[in-house]
Amino acid sequence: MRFIRGNLALRDHKANGRRVFLFESDGRGSATFICEVEVFDADYFETHDTSGNQRIGIKFFFKRTGAYIPVDASQIHTVPIAAEHAEIYGLKLPNVTERHGLVTSRVGQGAYRQTILHRWEYKCAVTSFDKLDVLIASHILPWSESTDEERLDRHNGILLSPTYDALFDRHLITFENSGKILLSESIESKAYHKIGVIGTELIKGLSADNHHYLEKHRQRFYDHH
């Protein structure tokens, strides 16, 4: 997919003086008006067509007209966008081992990172640190162990600052369903303290869907330690 025709018109609707209305279909031929919305952001993501073939899709992010979002869309894009350039389709998609490269890749994972940014309200889920260009959309169940659906599931992501992401990625910390942090005994408490990890941290706002992935992460945490 590219930003042409309908996609281009939707992306640029505000500049062109066009309005966008959100309706919810009942699946039986009728629809209910929900509200008027505006495109806040858009980016590419890796998906499949109706035949199951891999392709690049476009995900649009909307906000209710008049709603306030504390960041500007330009702050979210920390890597230049390839935009309409046809060569985007010639790029080699990242392989399953390139976890941290996928975090900032504009092809395949750009939209996922933005989804996690929006989900966690543009700040680290643990510390509320809000410098967007260093925050990491960390997969709970690792990319290499996830299905295609799980890899792009927003419930399989937590927005973390680099220190917590590094520890979480290596199963040196994990979180209970209540959000309470658990520290691996393979590192001394004073070593955690040196890097600012106290052991009383708490993630607020975890969903039942997050719990599903965290249970798997905790199992790996206990298996390792």
- Tell me the range of 44-48, 82-86, 99-103 where mean pLDDT is highest: 44-48
Cβ proximity of 168 and 160 under 8 Å: yes
Provide CB contacts within 8 A for 79, sequence distance 6+: 104, 105, 106, 110
Question: Does position 221 have pLDDT exceeding 60, yes or no?
Answer: yes
Q: Report the alpha-carbon distance of residue 14 to residue 27 in Å, rounded.
A: 29
Can you give the pLDDT at residue 74? Answer: 67
Can you give the pLDDT at residue 22? Answer: 95
Question: Does position 81 have pLDDT exceeding 50, yes or no?
Answer: no
Write out the DSSP string of 128-196.
----TTT-EEEESS-GGGS-HHHHT-GGGEEEE-HHHHHHHHTTSEEE-TT-BEEE-TTS-HHHHHHTT
pTM of the model: 0.68
| Domain encompassing residue 220 | 5-224
Torsion from C-alpha of 156, 200, 219, 189, nearest 10 degrees: 130
Can you give the pLDDT at residue 33? Answer: 95
Q: What is the mean pLDDT of the chain?
A: 82
Q: How many independent structural domains does the chain possess?
A: 1
